[in-house]
Amino acid sequence: MKNMKAYFRLLIFSLLIPLFTPVKAQQKPELSGYKSIEAKLERWTKYCNDLVDANNYPLLIIAAKQGTGLCSHTNNYQKMSQFAYFTGYGYEYSNNQYEQAIIYYEQANAYALKAHSLKDEVNALMRLNYMYYSVRKFSKRDTLIQYIKAIVDTTKDVYSQAILNGSIGEYYLDLSQYERFISYKLKAIDYRKKMLSDDDGSNRDNIGISYLQIVGAYLKMKQMEKVLEYLDYSKGYLKNSREGEAFMYNDYIVAYLSMNKPDSAQQYFRRLYSKMGEADSLYINLSYANRSFADYFLTNKKKDQALQYARNALRFAGKSEDDEILMEANTAMGKVKFEQGDFKQAIVFLEAASVKAYHFDREIYASIQQKLAESYRAIHDWDKALNHYEIYSRMQDTLYAESSKRTIAEVEAKFQNKEKQRQIDNQEIELSYAKSQKLWFIAGLSLLSLVAILLWIIYRNKKRSADELDNKNKTLAELNIFLDEANQTKAKLFSIISHDLRSPISQVYQFLKLQQLNPNLLTEEKKAELSSKIQTATGSLLETMEDLLLWSKTQMNQFKPEFRKVNVLEIVSECLQLMQLNSEGKKIRFKNSVSSDFFLETDPYYLQTIVRNLLQNAIKAAPEGSEILIDFEEGMGKKYLSVTNSGGYFSQEQYEYLLANKHSGKSLSGLGLHLVDELSRKVGAKVIFTETGNPDLTRVEVIC
């Protein structure tokens, strides 16, 4: 059965320790004979539980909502939780109304929290785990599992541990992370074994079914020896469960057929038939067993035998009145007819299977659409063939998108397991080596104890002297490196001061000296002109001092970035405001295409300094009246902040040459680009001067 996991869930739930004490009567109780509201609520709870046992889900929904109404004038949150749970359960099993079921299960969980009833909360969480998977709410399910894990880590309640570890296992089973599933399922089994002393039989059955779930995982991994091992474990716990034994026989059949042992599979096939008796509840298992043989013989090109078993599978599926089993049996018949070349009959069965396949399993639905397309193509009905191919293609795209996360998680899990195994192997090698060394050392001491002691003393003294000398050499080397770095930093500092600070200070000094010697020599217009130049010079001086201060800090190991979420537009806007005087002096316009929706995880001060220096260099290089473009793009998993200006092309080779030329004096732009390089490396960014194809354009990108 392809959806064996779903049947396990149903069977497990029916075998759980009863949540509430059931009664045998199914007749609606008369509450007028009960004096207290507590007695009425308890009686109504038993009535709802009895409807669950009778599988009367439409009436269960009505009764559970009436029970909620009885709670309207009370603060009995535990009963509110139980009635909400009953309502959700009714919707879940009444035509699979999963969305409605989720609403009430979530209410049940909320009321259980208010009532501080861990058992009721656990029951609601267990169903929500399955419901979120059924409606593909994977994000909600991930959050739910983290919450369940937190409970597992803190509670000592055995029942909660048994249920919740099983639920976590189900989560990893659906992700195809079978090793994790098995680990959590075995924990759940251990807790259920602790509950066996006061068990009514349901826990033994549940342990057996849990072993069968582990069998299903090993079937997926094609580890047949493990399959048989855990099937043997399950035998001792399923003696009183007719349905459980039927599932066990199904798994034996699948295992032996997978091992190409049809004779062994036939033994369990006959046992399954012997379990049938006069009851009809095993039609599902009989249909599945026949379908397993049909698949086996079809794979081995024995089409007549495959047809015989497929017909039996379809016959039992019809008697089961189970839509999913009937869908799978029709699918099997359709495939057999297709392989026999009877395409028209194949279409009849596949169309019948297609009606409800999407609801039960979209992978099966996709495979049916593919087979229908091939069948219609074989009878030259091209329009219908194309239609089914299109449906198949859309389904494949959808299934691929949904499986991506699971695939990634599975790969990560497998990698982690391999890495752990590698570490274990290395530790075993190290332990083995250490053990042999220890034995050798003891043997040597027993033979040459005196010589060994003397050699050890000599060695210890020499090693101590060598270690002291080595430590002093290391300290001296570190001091030399520190002094060399300090000298280089000092050389850089003096080269910058001699070039970039000296020029603007000299201009200011000359103007002031001229004013002192002959204040009337300059006209007001000339004074204004010189004043403007001095302002520009002092502004440049201030920028240089700021860059110099920041660059000096970058030479210290303690100067580290502080990362946080930063709006890129805000940073660029602040830098443009700082550059306003410089740009207005050259009548340069800025075209800022950065959207307010763009964010980076970085240090805002580092980013502002990088952008300001790049804009400053762009302004200097750009001719008067030109335009500087600022843009931000995302693609290929990267984010790109770019500045483009005219006025000559500055290449990546020039940039790298400038950075490599560490000992030469630097201009302002040189210091700025060194600062840009150092700051960008500290925040994990990369600065690239890209090819523009235009000898008049320079484009620089900050890649984050």
The domains of the chain are located at 564-703
CA dist 133 and 121 (Å) reads 19
Q: What is the pLDDT of residues 241-251, one digit of tens each?
A: 778 888 888 89
3-state DSSP of 449-477: HHHHHHHHHHHHHHHHHHHHHHHHHHHHH
471: Cα within 13 Å, side-chain hemisphere? 6
Backbone angles phi, psi at 475, to 5 degrees: -65, -45
Q: Are 678 and 586 in contact (CB under 8 A)?
A: no
Q: Which residues pair with 452 in a beta bridge?
A: none
User: Is pLDDT above 70 for 448?
Assistant: yes
Pairing of strands 627-635, 589-592: parallel
Percent share of the chain, pLDDT over 90:
37
**Domain spanning 564-703: which CATH class is it, in words?**
alpha beta
3-state DSSP of 572-617: HHHHHHHCHHHHHHCCCEEEECCCCCCEEEECHHHHHHHHHHHHHH
DSSP 664: S
387 exposure class (CB count in 10 Å sphere: 0-12, 13-18, 19+) = middle
609: Cα within 13 Å, side-chain hemisphere? 27
> Among all chains, which residue has been given the structure tokens 């060598």?
466
The residue that leads in pLDDT, 530 or 583, is: 583
User: Is pLDDT above 70 for 493?
Assistant: no
User: Is pLDDT above 80 for 617?
Assistant: yes
Lowest mean pLDDT among 451-460, 492-501, 689-698: 492-501
CA dist 502 and 57 (Å) reads 90
CA dist 613 and 547 (Å) reads 9
What pLDDT does residue 492 have?
57
Average pLDDT, integer, range 66-80: 91
CA dist 328 and 322 (Å) reads 10
> For the residues of 76-134, what is the DSSP string, one character each?
-HHHHHHHHHHHHHHHHHSTT-HHHHHHHHHHHHHHHHHHT-HHHHHHHHHHHHHHHHH
Average pLDDT, the chain: 82
What pLDDT does residue 459 have?
85
Percent share of the chain, pLDDT over 70:
81
DSSP 164: H
Q: Are 105 and 129 in contact (CB under 8 A)?
A: no
Q: Are 566 and 600 in contact (CB under 8 A)?
A: yes
CA dist 144 and 600 (Å) reads 30
Q: What is the pLDDT of residues 591-609, one digit of tens each?
A: 999 999 999 999 888 888 8
Give the orientation angle of helix 323-340 with respect to helix 283-299, to 10 degrees: 20
What pLDDT does residue 14 have?
40
What pLDDT does residue 631 have?
94
Q: Are 310 and 326 in contact (CB under 8 A)?
A: no
> Among all chains, which residue has been given the structure tokens 């920041």?
550
The encoded tokens of residue 359 equal 């609801």
Element at 2 (helix H, strand E)? none
Check residue 96 and give left, alpha or beta (phi > 0: left; psi -120 to 50: alpha): left
User: Is pLDDT above 90 for 182?
Assistant: yes
Q: What is the pLDDT of residues 103-152, one digit of tens each?
A: 999 999 999 999 999 999 999 999 999 999 988 899 999 999 999 999 99
479, 483, 488, 492: CA torsion to nearest 10: 130
What pLDDT does residue 77 have?
94
- Comparing CA positions, the residue from 621, 633, 618 lying closest to residue 575 is 618
CA dist 193 and 203 (Å) reads 8
Average pLDDT, integer, range 548-558: 61
Q: Angle at Cα 289 formed by Cα 286 and Cα 293, nearest 5°?
A: 140
CA dist 178 and 189 (Å) reads 16
At 552, the pLDDT band (50, 70, 90 cuts) reads low
Average pLDDT, integer, range 90-109: 92
User: Is pLDDT above 60 for 673?
Assistant: yes
The CA distances from residue 211 to 169, 181, 214, 635, in Å, are 12, 12, 5, 48
User: Is pLDDT above 70 for 490?
Assistant: no
The identity of residue 672, as a single letter, is G
448, 450, 456, 457: CA torsion to nearest 10: -170
At 279, the pLDDT band (50, 70, 90 cuts) reads low
Element at 639 (helix H, strand E)? strand 638-646
Q: SS3 for 208?
A: helix
What pLDDT does residue 516 have?
72
Q: Can you give the pTM of this predicted structure?
A: 0.52
Average pLDDT, integer, range 486-490: 62
The residue that leads in pLDDT, 515 or 68, is: 68
User: Is pLDDT above 50 for 529?
Assistant: yes
Check residue 28 and give left, alpha or beta (phi > 0: left; psi -120 to 50: alpha): beta
